[in-house]
Amino acid sequence: MTSYRLGVLEGDGIGPEIVPAAVLVLDAALAAAGAPPVDWVELPLGASAIDTHGDAVPASTLAALAELDAWLLGPHDSAAYPEPHRGKLNPSGTIRKHFDLFANIRPAKSLEGAYAIVPRTDLVIVRENTQGFYADRSTYRGSGEFMPSPDVAIAMGIITRPAVERIAVEAFELASRRRGKLTIVHKANVLKLTTGMFRDVCREVAARYPDVAVDDFHIDAMTVHLVRRANDFDVIVTENMFGDILSDLAGEIAGSLGIAPSINASHERAMAQAAHGSAPDIAGQDVANPIAMILSSAMLLDWLGTRRQDPALTQAAALIDAAVATTVGAGTRTRDMGGTTGTRAFAEAVAAGVKKAR
């Protein structure tokens, strides 16, 4: 059986609590699925790396990541870094850009007992991760945002056919494995050339997937549709900024950002990264909700298992998903979900649930 080397980058704030919680659950799930143990490789990143290596993302960390199968990334608190580090591309952005992790896959699935605004929500937002209207991703070097004078600020929004085509393929492949429905989100009535191209290229890719039903909505209308009827949607594909906004909204609709997972992936590599931030106000208190990080890690196993044709990994991912749902449904919840269970204790409860489910 194949063994894997996975990176561990704890990051800042609650990262050193939720990332080890995810590792604990993954180890239990892999053992339950009969997979060999993972070789965990801990690497410096974030504020601690600035202290020890003079950089939030040391060159040695990037070099080590290139030799690993995939990795877990904790949240970062780059806004609190000292200058000049605060003004640089943040750690997750640096890694995404370095490895061209073009697909940000963000599910939103309600859990029984998680107080979903729209019960039975089960959708996935597929977000193009390298272009669009975000300044840190719209140029090869430097920023896509600039000021020609003190009173004028300009941002470039970049959309290219190759980038849209590859994210559309990812979205249609996912929809074909799920419920066979895909929604394209754009603003082609105003941004006719940029998001109009996004819509049109996605429609061209749709011709390759005749079994997938396709519709499309403007971004403003889509926010309303999500609030009113999120459970009608399956896979949603959109550009970078729209995807960021919609995925945060969808996470809250499904229960909270504390349960919102994601992975950033290319064709060759993937990184598990919870959708929420570093929450420095509760760091070190053992009250953070580790669900998003645990489910992100399960997504990583599923991604890796699918690409390596390793059923033990996909089974381990399924065990984690089921154990999280069972644990929350039984009333074991962290403070943000109305419970009293600590971060570590919640992870231990999920790990125990994984062992029972095998």
Largest pairwise CA distance in the chain: 63
Among residues 244, 302, 310, 321, the one annotated as catalytic is: 244
User: pLDDT tens digits for 231-248?
Assistant: 999 999 999 999 999 999
User: pLDDT tens digits for 342-358?
Assistant: 999 999 999 999 987 76
Domains of the chain: 1-103+260-358 (3.40.718.10), 116-254 (3.40.718.10)
**Rounded (5°) CA angle 123-164-222:** 40
Among residues 4, 81, 134, 209, the one annotated as catalytic is: 134
Pairing of strands 70-73, 270-272: parallel
User: pLDDT tens digits for 327-340?
Assistant: 999 999 999 998 99
Q: Provide the whole-model pTM.
A: 0.93
Active site residue 187: yes
pLDDT of residue 112 exceeding 90:
no
Active site residue 244: yes
Q: What are residue 154's phi and psi, to 5 degrees?
A: -130, 135
b/e per residue 301-326 (b: at least 16 CB within 10 A)? bbbbbebeebebbbbbbbbbbbbbbb
pLDDT of residue 355: 83
Active site residue 134: yes
Report whether 263 contacts 271 (CB < 8 A). yes
